[in-house]
Structure 1
Amino acid sequence: MAKEKKDKKTPFTLEKGKDGVAILTFDLPDESVNKLSSWIMTDLQDKMKLIQEDSSLKGIVFISGKPDNFIVGADIDELSSFSSAKEAEELIDKAHNMLNDLEASKMPVVAAIHGPALGGGLEVALACHYRICSRHKKTSLGLPEVQLGLLPAAGGTQRLPRLIGLQAALDMILTGKNIRPKQALKMGLVDEVVFELDLLTAARTAVLKLAAGKLKPQRPAQKSAYQLATDFNTFFKPKKLIDFALESNPLGRHVVFDQASKMVLKKTAGLYPAPAKILETIKIGLENGMKEGLAAEKKAFAELVMSDVSYQLRNIFFATTSLKKETWNITDNVKPKKLNLIGILGGGFMGAGIATVLASKGYYSRIRDIDPVQIGKAYRYAHDFLYKGVKRKYMQKSEYERKIGSITASTDYTGFKKADLVIEAVFEDIDLKHKVIKETEAVVSKNCIFASNTSSIPITDLAKASKRPENFIGMHFFSPVEKMPLLEIIITKKTSPETTATCVELGRAMGKQVIVVNDGTGFYTSRILGPYAREAAFLLMDGVRMEVIDKAAKQLGFPVGPITLLDEVGIDVVYKVGPVMHKAFGERFAPVPAMERLINDKRYGRKNKRGFYNYQAKKKVPDESVYKLFPEIKLREYPKQKIQDRLLYSFMNEAAMCFEDKILFSVRDGDIGAIFGLGFPPLTGGPFRHMDTLKVENVVKKLEGLEKEFGLRFKPAQILIEMSQKGDTFYPQK
C-alpha cells in the first residue's frame, strides 16, 4: 500500500490499496478519543472530495485509529463556547453539508466501528452506506445527546428512524441508551458484526461487493408492504404486525407520537425541553421530508444549546469529567495498592450488592456473614444480576461462571488473611462495628485497608477501634449498589494518601462517580438528606397528603418524592440515624414528633412492603392506613409552592453548611454528590449552582422568611449570610 504522508494539521490518514479500496483513518492527535468539531468536519469533507476525485478508487473504509473507540461524539467545549444560536446553526450547517456529501458519495463508504460510536460518531456512521462493528464488549452505539439537554443534530433525528423504524429510533434517541453489537445487528443499526481482528478485512470486502453491485444492504425500516408480507418468518408475528400498522401510515405514526409525548411528559414533568423537541423534529422529517427535517433539527439544536437546562447539564458533564481525572495524593511515592482479594463483612442487601458489582468488574471478593441463609441470599442476588448478561446475550455463559465464581463466602474469617481491602457492611450500630473491626484486624495483614460502609457514624469514631487508623476509611455506597452511581469516600485526619488513592481507584473501576469528603457526622450525603426527609415528615404532620408531597418534589425535578425516598432508604434506617444527627447538630435535627409510631407498627418501607405506600398491589399506591397512626393530623389543601420551598431550601441550606464546615473539598463535589447520590434535580446543576442561579441574597431572604414561620431549622447558614452581604457566588461567573 502507498501511504500518504500525514499532515500534522489533519487527523486523517489515507491509505490506497491495490484493490482500489481507500482506508481513511481518523486519529485525533494528542487525544485519547476521537471527537468531532467544526474544523474536523471541514477537514473530513475536504478529504472525502479529494478521494472521490481519484478514479482509481472503488470505495472507502472509514475507521478509527484509536485502539478502543470509534468517535465518542462532539467536542462539548466547542458547544459551550457559543455566544448565540446563530453560531450553533453555523456548526450544524457544516455537519449537515459534510454528511449529506458523504451520503451522496457515488463510491460506497463503509464504517468500520470498534469501541463507542456515540452522538456525532454514530451520525457519521449513519451517513455511510454500510456499517460493520466489532463484537467486542467495548463496542456500543448510541445517541446520548438528550442527556445533555440536546438532540442529535448531524442528521441523527432524520436518518435513524428511516434506518431502524420510528419506534426503535424514538427509544434510542429519547433515552440516550447504548446499543450492543448483537442488538444493533438485530435491529438493522449495523449490517455485520465481526471479531475485532476481522474488522478491516470485512469492511474492505464489503466495499468491493458494494462497488460491484453484489451486496445490497437490508433495511428493515425501508421494506415495502409486499416485502414484509412475504417475509413469513417475521411479519406474521403480533409485534411485527403492530409495528407495521403503526409506522406505515400517517394515522399510525400519529398514535406513536401521541403515546411518546405522553410518556415524555410523565418522565420529565415538562421540565426538560429536549425530548419534546426531538419528537417534533422527527415528526417534521417524516411528514415533510428530509430537507425540512434537517432544517428543523438545526433550529431545535440551536435553541436547546443556548437553553439554561442544557447549560446546567453540560456543567454536570464537565464536573464528572474533571472528577475522573483527580489523582488524590497519587505521587511517584504514593500509588494505589493492587487489590487481589476484597473482603466483605455482611451478606445483606448492601454487602451482596457490593460483591455483585465487584464480580462484574473482574474483582475477587469473599463475603463473611454469620448466617448461612444470608450467604445463600447473597449468592442468589449476584446470580440474578450477572445472569441477565447471559439471558440478553451480551455475556457468554463461561464469562458468567467466571464472574460468579469470583465470589466466595464463609461464616467465619477464613480466607481474610489474603484480603487487601475489607469493606464492612454490617448493621448501623457502633458497638457491632467496633466488634467486627477488632475481629477483622486480628486476622488480616497489617497492610490491609479497612473501609466502613456506614451512612452516618463518623469514621473517626469507628477508627477508635482500629490499631491502624492510617488504613481506615469510609466507603459509603448507595442502595441498590448496582444501580446507584455515586460512591462517597470519607477520610479522617489520619487516613493515609495510599489508602485514599486505592479506594478512589477501586470506586472508579466499579463504574462509580467518586467524591471524597472529610469526616463528620452524616458526612455530606446523609447530612443533606436529613433536613429534606425531615421536612417531608413535617409537611405530613401539617396535614399534607403524602402523594401530594411527592408530586410537588417531582415537579421540581427530583426523580422520586421524599416520602417514596423514605420508603426506599428504609424508615427504620432513617429512624436509627436520626438520634445520631440530633446529638451532633442539636435542635436543628430534632426528631419529628410521633414518627416512632411507624417503627412500632413495623413499617420499614419497601424492604418489608410496609411503609407510607402499599407495595402489595401491582401498582404502588398510598397506604391510607398510615393516617390512622397519626389521629392528630388534619388533612388539608396546601400550596404547592410552599411545599417545594420547604423541601428545596432545607436541602440547599444544609449543603451550604457542609461546605462551611469543610466537609466538602469543593462545591463541584457537593453538586455531584447531591445529583448522583440523592437525585437533586439535574436541570439545576446541583444545589450550589442552583443557589448561584437564584442569587445567594434571594436564598437568604427566602430562608429568613421560612425561619420566621417554621423556626430554627431554616436559619440561614452563616456562609450564605456572608456571601449575600458581599455579593459572592459559589462558582466564578462569566
Structure 2
Amino acid sequence: MAVSRAACVFSKFATSKYPLLSGHISRNLSVSSSLAARTHVSYELKDDVAVIRLNDPTAKVNTLSLQMQSELTEVMGEIWSNGGVKSAVFISRKPGCFIAGADIKMIQACKSSEEVTRLSREGQKMLEKIEKSPIPIVAAIHGSCLGGGLELAIACQYRIATKSKKTVLGTPEVMLGLLPGAGGTQRLPKMVGLPGAFDMMLTGKNIRAEKAKKMGLVQQLVDPLGPGLKPGDRTIEYLEEVAVDVAKQIANKKIPLTKEKSFMQKLQDAVMDLGPVRKKIYKTVSERVLKETKNIYPAPNKIIECVQTGMEQGREAGYLAEAENFGKLAMTSESKAMIGVYHGHVACRKNQLGPPEKEVKRLAILGAGLMGTGIAQVSIDKGFTTILKDTTVDSLSRGHEKIYQSLDTKVKRKAMTSFERDTMMSNLSVQTDYSGFESADMVIEAVFEDINLKTKVVKEVEAIVPPHCIFASNTSALPIKDIAAASQRPEKVIGMHYFSPVEKMQLLEIIITDKTSKDTLASAVSVGLKQGKVIIIVKDGPGFYIVRCILNNFLEYLRLFQEGVELKRLDAISESFGFHTGISVVADEVGIDVVLHISENLSKAFGPRYEGGNLEIVRTMVEKGFLGRKCEKGFSIYGTTREERRVNPEVEEILKKYRVPAPLAISSDFDIQLRMVSRCINESILCLQEGVLASPVEGDIGAVFGYGFPPSRGGPFRFVDTFGAERLVSTMRRYEDVYGNQFTPCQLLLDHAKDPSKKFYN
C-alpha cells in the first residue's frame, strides 16, 4: 500500500491577518519571508507574475505542515496586497513532489473531533479564498500531488502537470480512514463528475498525468524534460517557464479559464442534473462499498454522504458535512490504526543500515517456479541484470513467458511502453547451467522447500560465485542456520522470504542468523528496497515470524472446520473481522502441499503448542491433487474471477471422516474470530518476547502486509492496545481450559494484562 499523507489543510491559513507590504517591491526581485525567517516558502516576481516556491528543507517531500501553512499565509497576503501582481504560480522545488499531503501529526495532535473539524473548516475557508483569488493562480505540478496537495491544486484556477512517471494526483485519505477535508469532496465531483470523483476518493488510487488531463483534473501537460533536454537536466525550471508564460496569458485573456464543452460533455452534464440519475449513482456506489468493505471501514460511507449532501443540499451544507465527518473519522479506532500502519509502512521502507560495501548489480535466481519467476520480474524492472536458472527448459520457458506477458499487460494498459518492456526483458537471461554466476553479486535460491536440496545448491553455487557474492534463501520456514551450515562463508548467507505473488505482495521478510554479517544484511535490505518491498528484519528460527503466526491461525481455522463450522461461513467471518479473504484462500494461494510441509516441520519444532485441526485433512487433499490456486482446486475451486470461486465439495467429503464434536460452545461470530486470531496475536507477542522481532512496528507491518491482518485493526500489537490485554487474556484462558497450551498467553502478554498502563504504542 503505497499510502500517502492525508489531508487536513491550512489550519491557521484562513484566520490569520495578511501583513501588508511596508515598502515598495520592485519587479524581478526575490522576496524573502519575514526578512530571513522563512524557510519553507519563498516567492519571486517575474514581471507581473508571482512565482511561489514550496520547499520543506527538513524532509524529502513537501507536506502542509504548520510551518509551511504559516509562511504561505504571509506570502499570499503580500501577493494579494501588491497591485502590481497580475497572476501567480505555485511550484515545488522538490524534484519529485509537489505536495504529498498535509502533516498527519496535525490531526494526531487533536484531542477531539471538534478540534479536527475546526482544522477542516479553516482549510475550507482558505482554499475558498484561493478559489476566489483576485488574480489567477496556476498550479505547476511535478511529482506527487496528493491529499491536501491536490485540494490546493484544484482550488487554483489552472493546473499544469508534467508527463513524468513521478507525477501522480490522488486523494489517498481513505487509506488512512479519513476523507478529503479541505473541500475535496465538494470540488472533485464538479470537476471530474460523480463517477470519476467517487472512483478517486473511494479507492485512493493515484492518477497519472495523462489520465488526469482526460478527466479534467489538469488543463495542460508539458514534457518532463523540456525540448532537447536529457533526464535530470532542468525539469522544474522548464515547468516554471511554461507556467509563468501560461499565467501571463491567462491574465492577458489570451488563455481562457473555461473551455467550451463538447456536445457530449453538455449532454453528460444534463444527465447528471437529473435527480433520479444521481440517486441511482449513490445507490450503486453504496452497494459496491458495502460489498467491498463489509462496513468495517467507516470512511467510504462518509465520503458518499458528503458528496451527496453537497450535490443535493448545496455547497455550504456539503462543506459543513465534510468538516464534521472529517472530525468524526479522525477520532475513530479505524483511522488511528490505519495511520499507525502508514507510519510503520514508511519506517519499513527506509534504509536504516546505509549502503553495502559493494552495490548489488547482478542477480542470479535459482528456480523458475512461481516464486523464482516473480523475484526475477521485480528485479529486472528495477534495473538488475538477472539470470534465471532452472533444471528444465520447460520451466524456463514458462517463467520467461509469464514475465513477458505480465509486462505486456502493462503495455496494453498503457502503464509502460513497448520499448520499456523490451528494455526490461533485456535484463533477463534464462539458462539451465551456472554460466555467468562467476560475476553474480547475489544469488537468490527459490528451489523446493527441502533442506537437502537447499544445502546442495549452496555448495554448487559457492564453487562458482566470487568471494563477495551473497547467498539468499527464499525459504518459508526452514532455519537459515541449517542452510548456512553447508556454506564455507556462513556470514554471506541470509534469508529473503518473499510472498506470493511476488509482483503484487509488498512484504519482504529478511532473516538473519548469529553469523550473518552486517554488510550482508545491508546488501539484502538494499536489494529489497530497490525491488520496491516493505522490509521487516527478523532473527532466524523455525517459521521465522510470518509463518509462525499464520500457521496458528490456519490450524485453529481447520479445527473449527472439523467442529462443524462451514468453510463458507468461516471465510465470511474472517472477512467480517477485516481480513481481505478467508485463511483457506490464503492457504490455496500459498499451496496446500507447502502448507502441509510447513505445518509438519513447525509441529516438530514447537510440539503440542502447534496442534489444532487434524493435518490428515490437508494430507488427504495433497494426495488427491487439491494443491490450491496453482492447480485451480484446493479448499475452493477457482474460475477466472474471484466471484467464480466456490467451495470444493470434495474437501467437504474428506472432512466427514475427520468431523469431531465441538467441546466448547460457540456463542457468536466474534467468538469464532477470537478463536482464530488470538493464537496468532499471542504468537506475534511471543516473537517479540523471544527477540525474533525487534519492535511492535515490524510485527504489525509484517502481519498486515504478510498475511493480511486487518489494517483497520492496525496489526496484532495495536489490536491488543485497543482491545485490551486483560480482556484478551481472559478470553484465551477460557479457550485454554478446553484446548490446552495452544491458548496459553505468553509472559509478555500477561505482563501487559497485569498493568493496564503498559502499551505497545505510547
Q: Does the CA contact (< 8 Å) of 1:191 and 1:218 recur in 2?
A: no
Task: Tell me the alpha carbon deviations over residues 154-207 of structure 1, each in whole angstroms, 9 at most, x when there is no partner.
Answer: 111111111111101100111100011111111111111112334222212221
Matched, 1:607 2:634: no
Partner of 2:348, secondary structure, is helix
Task: Tell me the alpha carbon deviations over residues 377-432 of structure 1, each in whole angstroms, 9 at most, x when there is no partner.
Answer: 11122112222332232423222211111111110111111110110101101111
Matched, 1:193 2:225: no
Matched, 1:528 2:528: no
Partner of 1:70, secondary structure, is strand
Q: Which amino acid counterpart does residue 680 of structure 1 have in structure 2?
A: F
Match of 1:128 in 2: 156
> What is the correspondence of 1:369-384 to structure 2 with a 5 Å cutoff?
369-384=390-405
Unaligned runs of 5+ in 2: 1-27, 225-234
Answer with 44-53 or 72-81: which moved more.
44-53
1:581 and 1:151 mapped to 2: Cα distance?
Answer: 43
> What is the correspondence of 1:446-461 to structure 2 with a 5 Å cutoff?
446-461=467-482
Answer with 490-499 or 305-314: which moved more.
305-314
> What is the correspondence of 1:530-679 to structure 2 with a 5 Å cutoff?
530-590=551-611, 592-593=613-614, 594-595=616-617, 596-616=619-639, 619-632=644-657, 633=659, 639-679=668-708
Q: Does the CA contact (< 8 Å) of 2:556 and 2:612 recur in 1?
A: no
> What is the correspondence of 1:232-631 to structure 2 with a 5 Å cutoff?
247-325=272-350, 327-328=352-353, 330=354, 335-590=356-611, 592-593=613-614, 594-595=616-617, 596-616=619-639, 619-631=644-656
Q: Tell me the TM-score normalised to structure 2 length.
A: 0.90
Answer with 435-444 or 195-204: which moved more.
195-204
Answer with 651-660 or 578-587: which moved more.
651-660
Q: Does the CA contact (< 8 Å) of 2:732 and 2:745 recur in 1?
A: yes
User: Which of these residues, 263, 287, 311, is aligned with residue 228 of structure 1?
Assistant: 263
Matched, 1:720 2:749: yes
Q: Which amino acid counterpart does residue 8 of structure 1 have in structure 2?
A: A
Match of 1:56 in 2: 84
Q: Which amino acid counterpart does residue 391 of structure 2 have in structure 1?
A: I
Matched, 1:104 2:139: no
Task: Tell me the alpha carbon deviations over residues 562-620 of structure 1, each in whole angstroms, 9 at most, x when there is no partner.
Answer: 11211111111101111110110001224742312111111001110111112147611
Q: Does the CA contact (< 8 Å) of 1:246 and 1:255 recur in 2?
A: no
1:602 to 1:185, Cα distance in 2 relative to 1, 3 A:
same
Partner of 1:387, secondary structure, is helix
Match of 2:245 in 1: 205
1:591 to 1:460, Cα distance in 2 relative to 1, 3 A:
farther
1:730 to 1:408, Cα distance in 2 relative to 1, 3 A:
farther
Task: Tell me the alpha carbon deviations over residues 215-251 of structure 1, each in whole angstroms, 9 at most, x when there is no partner.
Answer: 224669xx5xxx434x7xxx9xxxxx8x667633211
Partner of 1:515, secondary structure, is strand
Q: Does the CA contact (< 8 Å) of 2:351 and 2:525 recur in 1?
A: no
Q: Does the CA contact (< 8 Å) of 1:343 and 1:422 recur in 2?
A: yes
Partner of 1:131, secondary structure, is strand
How far did 1:116 drift?
A: 0.3
1:136 and 1:470 mapped to 2: Cα distance?
Answer: 42
Q: Does the CA contact (< 8 Å) of 1:451 and 1:474 recur in 2?
A: yes
Unaligned runs of 5+ in 1: 236-240
Q: Which amino acid counterpart does residue 153 of structure 2 have in structure 1?
A: A
Partner of 1:432, secondary structure, is helix
Match of 2:108 in 1: 80
2:174 and 2:531 mapped to 1: Cα distance?
Answer: 25
1:626 and 1:54 mapped to 2: Cα distance?
Answer: 77
Partner of 1:265, secondary structure, is helix
Answer with 707-716 or 127-136: which moved more.
707-716
Task: Tell me the alpha carbon deviations over residues 532-556 of structure 1, each in whole angstroms, 9 at most, x when there is no partner.
Answer: 0111111111111101000001110
2:579 and 2:594 mapped to 1: Cα distance?
Answer: 21
Answer with 81-90 or 612-621: which moved more.
612-621
Task: Tell me the alpha carbon deviations over residues 307-354 of structure 1, each in whole angstroms, 9 at most, x when there is no partner.
Answer: 1111111111222223334523x4xxx835301201100011111111
1:730 to 1:416, Cα distance in 2 relative to 1, 3 A:
farther
How far did 1:499 drift?
A: 0.5
1:714 and 1:503 mapped to 2: Cα distance?
Answer: 35
2:670 and 2:129 mapped to 1: Cα distance?
Answer: 52
1:617 and 1:346 mapped to 2: Cα distance?
Answer: 26
Matched, 1:689 2:714: no
Q: Does the CA contact (< 8 Å) of 2:721 and 2:760 recur in 1?
A: yes
1:372 and 1:718 mapped to 2: Cα distance?
Answer: 52
Partner of 2:542, secondary structure, is coil
1:253 to 1:634, Cα distance in 2 relative to 1, 3 A:
farther
User: Which of these residues, 40, 52, 58, is aligned with residue 68 of structure 2?
Assistant: 40
Match of 1:214 in 2: 254
Partner of 2:535, secondary structure, is strand
Q: Does the CA contact (< 8 Å) of 1:579 and 1:591 recur in 2?
A: no
1:701 and 1:470 mapped to 2: Cα distance?
Answer: 44
Count of residues in correspondence between the two structures: 713
Q: Tell me the TM-score normalised to structure 1 length.
A: 0.94
Q: Which amino acid counterpart does residue 150 of structure 2 have in structure 1?
A: L
Partner of 1:133, secondary structure, is strand
1:169 to 1:617, Cα distance in 2 relative to 1, 3 A:
closer
Match of 2:30 in 1: 3
How far did 1:290 drift?
A: 1.8
2:127 and 2:159 mapped to 1: Cα distance?
Answer: 15
1:614 and 1:217 mapped to 2: Cα distance?
Answer: 55
Q: Does the CA contact (< 8 Å) of 1:477 and 1:488 recur in 2?
A: yes
How far did 1:492 drift?
A: 0.1
Task: Tell me the alpha carbon deviations over residues 81-109 of structure 1, each in whole angstroms, 9 at most, x when there is no partner.
Answer: 11122321222222112211111012111
How far did 1:667 drift?
A: 1.5
1:525 and 1:600 mapped to 2: Cα distance?
Answer: 26
Q: Does the CA contact (< 8 Å) of 2:557 and 2:613 recur in 1?
A: no
How far did 1:42 drift?
A: 4.2
2:456 and 2:95 mapped to 1: Cα distance?
Answer: 49
Q: Does the CA contact (< 8 Å) of 1:491 and 1:517 recur in 2?
A: yes
Match of 1:711 in 2: 740
2:679 and 2:579 mapped to 1: Cα distance?
Answer: 14
1:500 and 1:634 mapped to 2: Cα distance?
Answer: 47
Q: Does the CA contact (< 8 Å) of 1:42 and 1:98 recur in 2?
A: no
Q: Does the CA contact (< 8 Å) of 1:42 and 1:94 recur in 2?
A: no
1:664 to 1:173, Cα distance in 2 relative to 1, 3 A:
same
How far did 1:442 drift?
A: 0.8
How far did 1:685 drift?
A: 1.4
1:705 and 1:246 mapped to 2: Cα distance?
Answer: 59
1:260 to 1:424, Cα distance in 2 relative to 1, 3 A:
same
Match of 1:238 in 2: none
1:103 to 1:727, Cα distance in 2 relative to 1, 3 A:
closer
